[in-house]
Structure 1
């Protein structure tokens, strides 16, 4: 701690109003670290600080702004007034803007806001709007945000623009609960030539297939019907996540697993919920080609469902250089007995670590664990975790029993992870 004499000597060389004499870059750095509401409140510090917030290049309007200290959400008129003040007082470019409107409120000034952003160099735009009434229809000025590099839209309607050549600087795109035609969606993606990261959460069913043509795409998260997408040109795709959506296109055409995966030459990490197997046509023993780049597989599978297990094994057999695998067992039919027989012809010559999240510690789960231990000569660690507190003791007992099992790898360690 500084002695009193030193403090007094130090203060003699400091300006009387330290805050007002801070360098501009220091003030900007301080404001950028604060939530938007707190940054605006710094206006009361002095006359010099009064309008410093007006030149912030990054603004976030979310619950931290809309809620009072008593956790009461602002009324629509108050939300509108805040946005109005930004439009009137802000100076300089806005490179990043996030707007998250509470579910119970509306926001009538978004058209003006997007027009304002389109003229002020917006590069990163996030619009998460409430699921109340019809989705918000984006105005024509949205398609003039030509410097966009990152775009996130939720509960919006994207109309067909009369003339639009694409966002040629866009790197990442996230669309959730967005209303858009399958043709326009495919066109939008194909015209973003620099697109590397894509997230699609399709709630409404598509009668037509969305064609994904993205030559620089590296990661893709998709939730919806597998029959709704066709990955045509994705030579650099390294990470793919396929999760289940409750909304499904109930057509007659089945999902072709072979056709779907034939373009994945660079795939390294696959996360898949095998509920998609319900949409599959005939499932082969293995794909007619190997995906040699796949090193990690995260899979959610019902071990009591023969179709899901067959589909999962088809993929595993086609990943000869798999090193890490995480399996989450999702047992949906608790009233049936074990009935799926696991094959003995599967080998895991490069597998080093396995994590199993189990629902019951049942016979089929024990068989799966033994199969992995017996067929993985390079295995270093097998981790067990229970998906619920109720069955935690049972799964822990299963892991303890497997420590005595004769493994293919002399280095294999079996570990139970506490919840």
Structure 2
């Protein structure tokens, strides 16, 4: 039995560093840290994993939200303090976590670490202000490929040149500047998936110009929707209130690649227009 255990330990120790990193990426961060006891070679491997996820599983939900939030932020800080190497993915999405100054510092830090996939989901301590304001350093993170933000004030600075690599953007309950779609989207030329959920602050007119956009999900109030240049857009989901009355005919006419259209109201009118224009496209309620 002793020889079997020693043999197994040797096989774990002898794994190449890139294989060890690959294993650690698939583990929750707490479990990844525990692998440091396996052998001397594994001791510091978890300190350089490129993907850091702090979610509800990491937080271990408790009733004392204030104490839990402080402990979570302390753990995140400690992890970043000892981390060595690039961070390609970072997620902080814990139920009940409120925005604090530490999160602003984290955004600054990640912007200098080449982050590619960023998700921040926390609530504002003062919802009347429209959420926490995203620090301008985020807009210098030019390696971003996926951005998911919740309950924030999303205002790009005047010097913002664009996210040339961004392919996925999701904004939930965010305060957007007037003319956001007209001004911001052209600066993200590679965007493929766009979700705008219950956001505020933009104008009633929605214009989408995104040459590589394939999927679009909207839950907001708009009186006019116009796809100026979206030749690859194949999936559109509109979740509108009964008071919204956008003209659907020009919308369909501007989407030559449309395959799926989802809408949450006025089923008969939308489906008839849809099938008259594109008989091969299926309608999903």
Instruction: Indicate whether the TM-score tops 0.5.
Output: yes
Taking the aligned partners of 2:38 and 2:87, their CA distance within structure 1 comes to 24
1:63 shift after superposition? 0.6
Q: Is structure 2 residue 212 aligned with structure 1 residue 216? A: yes
Show structure 2 runs of 5+ residues with no match: none
Distance 1:20 1:262, change over 3 A: same
1:30 shift after superposition? 2.3
Distance 1:84 1:315, change over 3 A: same
C-alpha RMSD of the superposition: 2.7
Distance 1:161 1:105, change over 3 A: closer
Which of 1 and 2 has higher RCO (CA within 8 Å, sep 6+)?
2
Residue in 1 aligned with 2:105? 112
1:104 shift after superposition? 5.0
Question: Which of 160, 169, 173 is equivalent to 1:173?
Answer: 169
May I ask how many residue pairs the two structures share in their alignment? 281
Q: Is structure 2 residue 138 aligned with structure 1 residue 142? A: yes
Taking the aligned partners of 1:12 and 1:64, their CA distance within structure 2 comes to 31
Distance 1:220 1:111, change over 3 A: same
Structure 2 contact 179–203 (Cα < 8 Å) conserved? no
Question: Which of 270, 273, 276 is equivalent to 1:314?
Answer: 273
Structure 2 contact 164–190 (Cα < 8 Å) conserved? yes
The two structures have a TM-score, normalised by structure 1, of: 0.61
Residue in 2 aligned with 1:265? 256
Q: Is structure 2 residue 76 aligned with structure 1 residue 83? A: yes
Structure 2 contact 47–82 (Cα < 8 Å) conserved? yes
Taking the aligned partners of 2:80 and 2:182, their CA distance within structure 1 comes to 34
The two structures have a TM-score, normalised by structure 2, of: 0.86
Taking the aligned partners of 1:166 and 1:221, their CA distance within structure 2 comes to 21
Structure 1 contact 206–228 (Cα < 8 Å) conserved? no
1:234 shift after superposition? 0.8
Residue by residue over 1:168-220, the C-alpha shift from the partner in whole angstroms, topping out at 9 and shown as x without a partner, is 11111111111111313431111111111111113436444232111111111
Distance 1:223 1:76, change over 3 A: same
Q: Is structure 2 residue 118 aligned with structure 1 residue 159? A: no
Distance 1:106 1:325, change over 3 A: closer
Q: Is the radius of gyration larger for structure 1 or structure 2?
A: 1
1:117 shift after superposition? 1.2
Structure 1 contact 103–130 (Cα < 8 Å) conserved? yes
Structure 1 contact 79–107 (Cα < 8 Å) conserved? no
Residue in 1 aligned with 2:47? 54
Q: Looking at secondary structure, tell me which structure has more helix per residue.
A: 2
Taking the aligned partners of 1:145 and 1:117, their CA distance within structure 2 comes to 8
Residue in 2 aligned with 1:256? 247
